Structure formats: structure tokens, C-alpha cells
Structure 1
């Protein structure tokens, strides 16, 4: 279950579009070699939540996008082939309403050329509201990971994306790793509300101190569990904070909506640090 994650910088799920949107902002290195986590793919197409889906708030964004995506068949026929031809390293985020749906997604994606790994979305801020399999306890997350791991090759990374809940993160990380996760991604949106009171999830710099504490906690309690830090990564200093806390890699999300060159700049800055 050792993680073989390409590069220290990844595009967080749902924040890089289909990948095409980032091509013009990839810099001299180009999009080839970019490690993209796709938006969460479900078996059937989803239209997403009602507008407005995103609101800017101090320190980040509140969103209730509802996981809009074209469904697995369309993704396999159109989006994945383009990404593979462009040389992108593709980790597919998956979400399902049942354990059977997660398993089916994993089985079919395991046969798709160019899929580097999977990220299991088990940390959405409002699982019931999006129609996903309800994950309230670590053993629920572990059951999803186990169902996916049985259907996905053991030599490819399986990431479990967890909400940065300081009180439960160690327990959740342990459960997912024991169930077959190669690494845990710490830093999904945290439950929040829009200015009008609607439920949503908060992301961006506002959650960085929480996510960073979670990464450090997992590293201290579970040193053999690889982690990926996500939440407020926007420059070299914010990325370095996660890496210094023990994360294998970082994911860039909300920052891309403000500055789509963030990943290119960060990849270049980290490369310059390497002797």
C-alpha cells in the first residue's frame, strides 16, 4: 500500500475543470506531466446544485456545487482520452450513492488506459445533501475504501480524501489505510454556510491552519501513513508548510480560481529548491 505519487504538486479535484482549461496557463513546462485529480465522477451524469453555487467569503470560498459531471461513460469517451494524449497524469476522483456504485466505478476505471490512480471522495461536507453514500464514521469511510480496493489494482495508488476534522482525523486515516488506501488526502471542504444560510463547504486559506494541524497529527500518530495536504495552498510558503509537516505532496484547489497559473508557478518554485 505504499504510495507512488508523481510529483509534489497535484491539482485538487474539481478545480482544474477537464484539464483543457489549464493548458493555456501551464507555463514553459506545459501540461504534460501535470498531476490532475479530476472532478468527482459518478456512474450517471449529475447537473450539480442550484445557483448560486459559489460565494467568495473572507479567506476563501463557500460552495455547494453538487458534484456536477457528465457521468462515467462520457468521461471515458471524451475527457480521459484528451488528458492521456496531453501527457497528464490522471487520478480520477470517484463518488457514489452505494458501495456497489463505488466498486463498479473502480472496476471499470481499472481497465481504462491512462488512469494513474483513484481518489475516493469520502469527505464531502454534506454527504446526504449531495446524494452520496453517507459517511459519518471512520468505518463508513473504510468500507468504501475496501470496496474500491478490491476492484482496483494494488500496484496503483488509491487515495482517500478526508475532511480535516481534528477530533477524528487520526482515526479516519488509520481506518482508511488499513482498508487499503495508499495515502490519505487531508483537506476537503469543511461544513459551512452561505451568507443566506444555505449549507455549503468552506475551502481556501481559511481552512489551512486546520488542515495543517490534521496533517501534523496524522504524521505524529501514524508515521507510516502517507498524507497529501490540501487547503489554502497558493504559493511556495503555504506548500512548504504542508511538506515540512510530513505531507508527501500538496493539492492546489481554490487558488486556481483566482490565479490559474498557480500550479505552474509552484511546480517551478519547488523544482528550483531541489539541488
Structure 2
């Protein structure tokens, strides 16, 4: 049965620990109602010593190509911010067939319990998300949007409609909201309503008109 009751697009986020696993997952989604695949390349590549796919240009390109070769869906690659140059990674996945990129994934962080002197997480380190990462996300989206020709999906700490507008001005054609929903499940609705009002107040007919309109010094 068709469970989608509104004009909704379904994006399936996939991840794997080997290139073959990523391709296999993507292939399984052929023939389903999924409209697009988002490939998470922030996972550790177990065959290559555990470094994330998304931290090496060649590996990021290879996993993108492997998935693109088997999928019939548009492919968006989700980039890791834990790199020296996110632009190089973005260019590599674009050259290997990515239809879009999304960024940023979580920043690597760590907290320590000063009573036990143990890291808070059993993994010692983990992903930092939420408003703290927003300025980094805006910077990286701006850099990537100016370096690739494919669309950019922006995310990372968006909590208000102002944040969403800012991210789009940086160059994102669309945005994702994650951590904000934990504090307020209605956050995406409020953000969408705020963006609608912003457009009406400023005589903007289509939200796409603001994409990449930042005017750097």
C-alpha cells in the first residue's frame, strides 16, 4: 500500500563498512518507492584500516562510483567534515557520478567524566551535532557550493528558520533538520512556516531565489 499521504519525497540513507556492502544496499533499493539514495561516507572502511570512506578522495570517489554503477536512483553523497579539505572530497564524488552532495555530517568530539576519568562514550569519541556545529556547516556548504556544479543539501545545527535561510544563502538548495527535533518535534514545521513568511515579507516568489546569494567581502 502507498503509505505516503502527502506530496513527499523519500530519501534513503545508506551506509556500509565496505565498498561492496554500500553497493549491495543501494542495489536492494532498486524497484522500491525510494526517490533518492543518500550515501553516508563517514563510516569506517573496514577493508582499508578503519579510516572513514569520506576522509580520502580516492576512496570517496571509488565508493561513489560503485554505488552509482548499480543504482537506478539519483545519488546524493553525505560528506564528512572531519577532513582537511572538504572541497577536494566533494569534487571527487562529483567526478565519480554523484548527483548531489549533502553536508555536514557530525564533527568528531569527546567528553570526559572528571569523577571517573573515563570518556562519556564507550567508543571514547563520537559525533557532535546541534547548534555548536552550525558555523562550521555554513562555511563548508559555502566552500563546496562554490566548487561543484551539482546541488548541495545543507545541514548541521539548523534550529530556526533564520538558520535555514542562512544555510541556503551559503549555497544549499535544500536543508535537513536533525538534532533540533529532539528538543522540539515541531521544529521542521516552524522552520518551514518561518521561511514562508520571510519570502512573503521580502517579495521572494520562490525560495530557490535566495540560494547562494551571500555576497562575500
| TM-score tier (shorter) | 0.7 to 0.9
Is 2:109 aligned against 1:219? no
How far did residue 85 of structure 1 move? 5.5
Unpaired runs of 5+ residues, structure 1, are: 1-80
Is 2:77 aligned against 1:160? yes
Is 2:106 aligned against 1:189? yes
Contact 1:166 1:210 in 2 (8 A): no
SS in 2 for 1:207: helix
SS in 1 for 2:12: strand
How far did residue 87 of structure 1 move? 5.6
Query: 1:263 & 1:85 partners in 2: Cα distance?
Result: 18
Query: 1:254 & 1:265 partners in 2: Cα distance?
Result: 15
How far did residue 134 of structure 1 move? 4.1
- Mean Cα displacement is larger for which, 205-214 or 187-196? 187-196
How far did residue 144 of structure 1 move? 1.1
Unpaired runs of 5+ residues, structure 2, are: 113-117, 206-217
How far did residue 269 of structure 1 move? 2.2
Alignment partner, residue 149 of structure 1 = 68
Contact 1:83 1:90 in 2 (8 A): no
Is 2:33 aligned against 1:108? no
Considering Cα pairs closer than 8 Å and 6+ residues apart, tell me whether 1 or 2 has the greater RCO.
1
Contact 1:93 1:121 in 2 (8 A): yes
1:88-99 matched pairs, under 5 angstroms: 88-99=8-19
* Deviation by residue 1:180-211 (Cα, 9 ceiling, x = unmatched): 11111111001111334221110011111111
Give the TM-score taking structure 1 as reference length. 0.63
SS in 2 for 1:253: coil
* Deviation by residue 1:32-68 (Cα, 9 ceiling, x = unmatched): xxxxxxxxxxxxxxxxxxxxxxxxxxxxxxxxxxxxx
1:44-83 matched pairs, under 5 angstroms: 83=3
Give the TM-score taking structure 2 as reference length. 0.78
Distance 1:106 1:137, change over 3 A: same
Contact 2:19 2:66 in 1 (8 A): yes
How many pairs align? Answer: 188
How far did residue 127 of structure 1 move? 6.0
Distance 1:203 1:127, change over 3 A: farther
Contact 2:94 2:100 in 1 (8 A): yes
- Mean Cα displacement is larger for which, 261-270 or 133-142? 133-142
How far did residue 133 of structure 1 move? 8.0
How far did residue 84 of structure 1 move? 3.5
Is 2:174 aligned against 1:255? no
Query: 2:3 & 2:109 partners in 1: Cα distance?
Result: 33
Distance 1:205 1:168, change over 3 A: same
